């Protein structure tokens, strides 16, 4: 069993070393897990997992290996099926409105947990309503959609955040570094784009402690205040986003990124423009990419200098003709160059530029010729937490 656990952890992507595995075996031999599956879970996670981003992988591996072992808090598949009542959610909300108007009741957590264990051991059928068994719409402290403030939710979805314990929930799936991003993770990653400087044209508003000490000492001990310019982030950011077509499924993701960039008010300057499939002679001011509501790409080169750090977001999913053609619709409005040539101009003009792809194919997929070609121009990263962190690190390197 434990050998299977080791190989399952590896299969889920956890890098468990032999020394860590031997440490876990030593903990078992010393009785640190107290013959409890729950204690073994926490002990193993503490020894084997190096980052909270791997908690979800550990939970999945643990569930896969030990789901057949009965523990005092194990929730059977039958019970989860009994508790799955999404059609009753409207009745639940009406019931909760009545409960919330009642006076607050103190919850004895130890008593609730002990009763929960007793019901798990004895219950052998579905219950809805009532005040004793684990079920739905009842008055007990366990189950889901019940009219009890403070208890243990089993299955279902969270409603009024009244449960003090949730059993069977994958609590750490949002910690993973390979998941698609949301607003919070965008903001955390974008904070890495920082280059502090005192050379900006701003007033001296901060106390220079070292300068004040030196000046005071040289002034015979008479206090001499010295002020300095505050250190501000000197990073200038240019965000270019593919919009429409195959990027429509990612419109919410692009909106999250847009909001995160503009909430990050520590940049010296931020500019955002849009394109469709590839960058051509025009860049659009809005994601609708409407004719006339644009700027010339050459104007951007003249007015946004090479110190801007550039993030291009797009799936690079286009026909080769859209990338290489210099005639017809594929060259973009009023442009005689191909998309490939415009991308090469981008690369030559801007020192720091990365491409983020929400559905990047592994390796150089022959059926995605355009993506492979763009990878040869720009460093391309998958639009996940880990991919964005790598991209931000790339933008901040000196190479």
Using DSSP's 3-state secondary structure scheme, residue 216 falls into helix
Return the pLDDT at 203: 75
So what's the pLDDT on residue 304? Answer: 95
Distance CA 50, CA 209 (A): 40
Rounded to the nearest 5 degrees, what angle is found at the Cα of 368, between the Cα atoms of 367 and 374?
Answer: 155
Q: Is CATH 3.40.50 the right assignment for the domain spanning 235-396?
A: yes
Give the predicted TM-score (pTM) of the model: 0.52
DSSP 42-60: HHHHHHH--SGGGHHHHHH
User: Using N-to-C axis directions, what is the helix angle for 37-48 and 18-29, rounded to 10°?
Assistant: 150
pLDDT at 57: 84
Task: Note the pLDDT of residue 234.
Answer: 76
pLDDT of 381? 92
Nearest CA-CA partner of 197 in 235, 234, 237, 236: 234
Burial track 122-158 (b if 16+ CB lie within 10 A, e otherwise): ebeeebbeeeebbbbbbebbbbbbbbbbbbbbbbbee
Tokens representing 175 are 């910690």
CB 136 within 8 A of CB 83: yes
Directed axis angle between helix 183-190 and helix 251-263, to 10°?
A: 50
Do residues 391 and 384 make contact, with C-beta atoms less than 8 angstroms apart? no
Per-residue pLDDT of the chain (399 residues; tens, 9 = 90+): 578 889 989 898 888 988 899 999 999 888 888 877 778 888 888 899 887 778 888 888 888 887 655 444 445 555 555 555 555 545 444 554 554 444 444 555 566 666 766 666 666 666 566 666 666 655 665 555 554 544 554 555 444 333 334 344 556 555 555 555 566 667 777 777 776 555 556 677 778 888 889 988 988 888 988 887 766 667 889 999 998 888 888 888 888 888 888 776 678 888 999 999 899 999 999 888 888 889 999 999 999 999 999 999 999 988 888 888 876 555 565 567 899 999 999 999 999 999 999 887 666 666 688 999 999 999 999 988 788 889 988 998 866
pLDDT reported for residue 70: 47
Is residue 242 within a helix (H) or strand (E), and if so which, with residue range? Answer: strand 236-242
Specify the pLDDT at position 187: 74
């Amino acid at each position: 069993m434990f050998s299977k656990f080791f190989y399952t952890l590896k299969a889920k992507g956890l890098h468990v070393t032999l020394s860590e595995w031997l440490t876990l075996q030593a903990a078992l031999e010393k009785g640190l897990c107290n013959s409890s599956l729950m204690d073994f879970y926490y002990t193993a996670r503490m020894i084997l997992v190096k980052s909270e981003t791997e908690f979800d992988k550990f939970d999945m591996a643990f569930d896969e290996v030990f789901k057949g072992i009965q523990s005092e808090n194990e929730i059977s598949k039958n019970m989860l099926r009994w508790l799955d009542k999404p059609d009753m959610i409207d009745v639940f909300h009406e019931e909760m409105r009545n409960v919330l108007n009642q006076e607050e009741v103190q919850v004895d957590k130890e008593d609730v947990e002990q009763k929960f264990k007793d019901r798990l051991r004895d219950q052998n059928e579905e219950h809805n309503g009532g005040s004793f068994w684990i079920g739905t719409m009842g008055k007990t402290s366990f189950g889901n959609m019940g009219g009890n403030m403070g208890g243990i939710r089993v299955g279902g979805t969270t409603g009024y955040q009244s449960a003090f314990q949730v059993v069977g929930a994958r609590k750490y799936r949002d910690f993973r570094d390979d998941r698609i991003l949301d607003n919070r993770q965008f903001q955390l990653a974008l904070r890495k784009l920082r280059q502090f400087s005192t050379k900006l044209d701003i007033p001296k508003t901060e106390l220079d402690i070292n300068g004040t000490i030196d000046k005071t000492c040289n002034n015979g001990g008479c206090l001499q205040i010295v002020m300095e310019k505050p250190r501000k982030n000197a990073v200038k950011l240019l965000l270019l986003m593919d919009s429409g077509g195959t990027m429509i499924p990612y419109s919410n993701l692009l909106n999250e990124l847009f909001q995160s960039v503009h909430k990050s008010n520590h940049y010296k300057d931020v500019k955002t423009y849009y394109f469709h499939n590839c960058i051509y002679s025009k860049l659009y001011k809005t994601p609708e990419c409407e004719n006339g509501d644009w700027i010339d790409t050459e104007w951007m080169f003249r007015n946004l200098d090479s110190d801007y750090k550039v993030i291009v977001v797009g799936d690079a999913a286009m026909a080769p003709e859209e990338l290489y053609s210099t005639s017809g619709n594929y060259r973009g409005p009023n442009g005689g160059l191909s998309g490939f040539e415009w991308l090469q101009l981008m690369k030559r003009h801007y020192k720091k530029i990365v491409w983020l792809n929400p559905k990047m194919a592994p390796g150089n997929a022959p059926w995605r010729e355009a993506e492979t070609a763009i990878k040869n121009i720009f460093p391309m990263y998958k639009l996940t937490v880990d991919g964005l962190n790598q991209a931000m690190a790339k933008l901040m390197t000196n190479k």
